[in-house]
Structure 1
Amino acid sequence: MAWRLKLVPTHTKIDFFRWQFLTFGVSVLASVVSIILVLTVGLNLGIDFKGGTTIRTESTTVVDVGAYREALAKLDLSDVTITEVNDPSFRADQHVAQIRIGPKEGEEAVTPESIAALEAALTQLDPAITFPAVESVGPKVSGELIWKALLSIAAASAGILVYVWMRFEWQFAVGCVAALIHDVIVTVGVFALFQLKFDLSIVAALLTILGYSVNDTVVIFDRLRENLAKYKSMPLREMMNLTANETLSRTIMTATTTFLSLLVLFIFGGDVIRGFVFAMLFGVVIGTYSTLYVAKNIVLFLGVDRGDKPKKSATPDEFAKVDA
């Protein structure tokens, strides 16, 4: 017999509802904390949403953030942020920094004169420095991008709600969308907690997380629907546990292979896509968790209409007075 790798035994009997109130409570707490972090600490908005100009520098000389800041302090610049960029894929003599500046008071965007002055000051400090990328976004455009990003996530969630409702029942749709919203909120909360840059690529990652998570959830719900017809007298809690165990191998295998692929991108893909890949990595983990512990819990709380269950056979007492 050919040897096959199994991440999960063929027949498992894990009780996913053993700590249902604890796991559901942790999910609710994580969502609330994430919202509080976003409202209080705020997101480290990238150039897409905040507006301004981001300049990427490269040099064979080691980046000295303090010297950069001192050189730019002589210029009349607004909201200067200097960040050294480290990446395993860089050459030994490749030193990269990212400088973000905002528009001055009363200006719509950073002027070309300000950018030229910045480049001249850094070139005087380090003649080997180059400026391979300059990105500028005005405040009007950034405001529109924020609104469109929110609309895209809301539209995707609404479309998923309708799809699951039409394919299954409304309880399944509510459980599925609640799990998706949980995934998005907690992921955004992590970005607020660690002050990771939040730009349009992260919005794309959030939309991808929605698609990944709903696919995983629908697979379990589809098996649950089959079991509802197969085991008509089995209590709903036992049936949902049976369904989760039957699909556990597929869930773990999908999550593991996706995670490993993303991990390679995170390590070797470069700093340009690192934020996107990190969001995806975290999304795979939280999406798998919410499928097993959030979506099913909500469906169990709401109950499922099992009106098509055949009526119980008549008892002897019901026919006691009927003539033979």
Structure 2
Amino acid sequence: MASSSSVPWVEKYRPRKIGDVSHQEEVVRTLQKALETANMPHMLFYGPPGTGKTTCALAICRQLYGPDLFKSRVLELNASDERGISVVRNKIKGFASTAVGQAVPGYPCPPYKILILDEADSMTTDAQSALRRTMETHSKVTRFFILCNYVSRIIEPIASRCAKFRFKPLGSEVMSDRLKHIAEREGLTLGEGVYDAAAKHSGGDMRKAITLLQSSARLFGAKELTGEDIIAVAGAIAEDDVAELLDLCGKNAFDRAIGKLDVMLRDGFPGLQILTQFADAVTNSENCSDGVKARICLAAAEADKALIDGSDDSLQLGAVVSVACLAMSGK
């Protein structure tokens, strides 16, 4: 067994009970009521990454079956497993069709197994259709927990058979509380800007925020961590540099703004990262009218698509900066 010091903090501090899951109050309240009766329908959990979908599914299973029955009553498949139609017909159908064994004292141990399909929106339509038939046939002995980021990619016959639960992105206050708890347990000192930087550069993903904190602690040692440390580990650009670029655009100093862009690119920052942070700075700027923000963000969206398609970083960023200079100078 791995020592606690070698376990990723994401796993070490993963909630073991449904009541410990942060921020998803409505989901947690409903699931706790279902746990009291141990009569679970098929479940569909959807929402952004790192918001507690897998954690909730695993916590339910632990509370239903306990450690002894968990391995025999629960099967978890995620995106790393092949889940074409053959897997549904063989592995999933084989697990779903077998009868359940004896219960264990002290746990509800309802007379069904649970099959967790993580990131189910990456399954092919044919595989989902085969899964729908399996769900229908073996619902007496197996419950399905379908987990996905995009509920629109789940076929309607599956979605209509499940109780749907939407997981919200985590706010900065919720993240701060959790990171503070982990820091206290790990003996870390968190300085100014750590919580804001972790919340901003994780995008509401608690898993990413905890990983950033652990990576910073490993990289910078036991000294006091700062927001700059988190930004460095996240591979993000310093806020002052982005603000300076926006300021140069506001002064219509195109040549100097292009020079600033070149420095960022030579420092190794990817074009998409620069574009994302620049667009955020424009959106939050108090010096731009809504019309100016719309013009710049439209140019940024077009550049984003071009960069994903493989266009040159320097050219696309230069085009956005050009539009920003013109828009902010009233031209």
> TM-score range with shorter-chain normalisation?
under 0.3
TM-score, normalised via structure 2 length: 0.27
Greater RCO between the two (CA within 8 Å, min separation 6)? 1
